[in-house]
Amino acid sequence: MSSLPGQRAREWVDYHHERAAPSTYVFEFVWDHTAPAEGPFCTDVDGNVLMDMTGHVAAAPLGYNNPKLTERLAEFDLPDPAKIAGQDFYVASGPLDDHEYPAPADLMERLTDRSAHYGMDTVFLSNSGAEAVENAIKICYDHTEGQHAVTFEGAFHGRTLGALSLNRSKSVYRRDFPQISGVHEVPFCDDRACDADTCSCGFFAGDGSQLRRMIRPERGFVDPENLAYVILEPVQGEGGYRFPSDAFMSEVAALCDEHDLLLVADEIQSGVGRSGEFWASDHYPIEPDVIASAKGLRVGATIGRSDVFPEERSRLSSTWGAGDIVASCQGALTLDVIDDYDLMDNAVVTGRQFQESVRDADPEPVVDVRGKGLLLAVEFDTEERRDAVQQAAFKRGLLLLGCGEKTIRVLPPLDVTEREIFLAVDLLTDAIAEAA
């Protein structure tokens, strides 16, 4: 392996930035998509083979070139256009149509099947997670006619203006941008084992939770009759991979039930099997009314009950929504692979292996190792240490992403092997030793 980044990668990065707007670039790593890549392994433009434990921020649930997916896609005779105006026209599919490859309608059928335990039977497809959130909050405003909303400290829901109004993580995301009015925030649980008496985040205090006091009829400062929705990530992503306690989730569920509030679950990073359940919400005593999904799904999707969605034509629409033939096919086939090869079970086994292996190594600067399935996090004593570990891992060919203030998230492919987990842990612990 040459030093990272290599000479060619530096040249490509410089070339990219001649025209690209400033954005989030963690590494000077340039993937060569024409070179060998499979599972968690990929090749950069200098010929270096790296181990990718970022999962493209959970957008590549099967890693690189999973043969169970690529073999089917290789036979797909691509049409032109591969994207159509999908809410003006239809793509051929249906129960009476003998079609070999799944279309948008088939993807929607798979999603409602996996969400039926929440009573969900309706899907609106779009292009991205931010669009999925935008449409989720739009249908809630429409359904309730409420003008207020509740989000949580540390939340990240996307970068479009409506979604930005709900963010409570880094200030750079929404500073000086116009905001949706009436958005209130309460603390998000940061102790997965707490109860109301041991709460340390501030959600529970005094005679109940902050959310309960906020919406208490006649005595709170937000009328629950005027509250359009509560939105939360079942596991906070950008906020630091925070896994809430059952007590926290039970209180949210109870208040939504008592006041008939719509609960939106942002499953964009946590969903599609990564937690060991199809939805991370399935781990908790909540019943979302609307789910926003994307990333590993390959498209954006807003999923809910038909009675929540507007009945009026054109109230929701999108030129390309439901019209990306290839992405919808890929998303549907991805769900099939996850089911056919028991990858949610594999996520539970290998995720537990990762946590136990890091804990057994007992690196001194690590203050917590946590996760559900392959939603994994390693928290360090300081932000500087976290950043140093991330860079030391990169030098060893291990790609990792930070989140929160001092946490590294680890997102292996759902079909990762035990051997690959051991290799990743070895590289990580070596990086920690250097940073320490």
Angstrom distance (rounded) from CA 211 to CA 220:
9
**Beta pairing, strands 148-152 & 183-186:** parallel
Question: Which residues, 6+ apart, have CB-to-CB distance to 38 below 8 Å?
Answer: 63, 64, 65, 66, 67
Q: Give 139's pLDDT tier (boundaries 50, 70, 90).
A: very high
Structure confidence at residue 170 as a pLDDT band (50, 70, 90): confident
Whole-number pLDDT of residue 2: 64
What average pLDDT does range 257-286 have in this prediction? 98
Domain harbouring 351, CATH code? 3.90.1150.10
Q: With 60 as the cut, is the pLDDT of residue 151 above it? A: yes
Domain range for 49 is 7-60+342-435
Per the model's pLDDT, the better-predicted residue between 81 and 416 turns out to be 416
**How far lies 29's CA from each of 6, 50, 148, 195, 320, in Å?**
9, 10, 43, 43, 31
Binning pLDDT at 50, 70 and 90, where does residue 82 land? confident
Q: Which value, to the nearest 10 degrees, does the dihedral of the CA atoms of residues 361, 363, 364, 369 take?
A: -100
Residues 284 and 180 in one domain: yes
pLDDT of amino acid 95: 64
Answer yes or no: do 145 and 22 share one domain: no
> What is the model's pLDDT at position 84?
76
Greater confidence (321 vs 402) lies with 402
Which one, of 315, 322, 263, 264, lies nearest residue 297 by Cα?
A: 322
Of residues 261, 184, 185, the one with CA closest to residue 228: 261
Q: What is the pLDDT of residue 391?
A: 95
Task: Clarify whether residues 248 and 140 are in a common domain.
Answer: yes
pLDDT at residue 324, as a whole number: 87
Q: Over the range 311-344, which residues count as b (16 or more CB within 10 Å of their CB) and which as e?
A: eeeeebebebbbbbbbbbbbbbbbbbbbeeeebb
Percent of the chain residues past pLDDT 70, beyond the cut: 97
Q: What are phi and psi of 273, to 5 degrees?
A: 85, -5
* Residue 270: closest CA among 288, 305, 297: 297
* Confidence check: pLDDT of 96 > 60: no
In this structure, is residue 305 part of a structural domain?
yes
Note the pLDDT of residue 205. 86
Please write the tens of the pLDDT for every residue from 31-53. Answer: 998 899 999 999 999 999 999 99
Q: What is the mean pLDDT of residues 10-16?
A: 89
Q: Are 280 and 271 in contact (CB under 8 A)?
A: yes
Question: Do the Cβ atoms of 405 and 190 come closer than 8 Å?
Answer: no
Q: pLDDT tens for residues 20-32?
A: 888 888 888 899 9
Give the chain's domain count.
2
Summarize the confidence of residues 215-244 as an average pLDDT: 95
One domain, residues 328 and 397:
no
Question: Both 38 and 116 in a single domain?
Answer: no
Query: Distance between CA 20 and CA 113 in Å, rounded?
Result: 41
Whether residue 259 sits in one domain with residue 118: yes
Count of C-beta atoms within a 10 Å radius of residue 16: 11
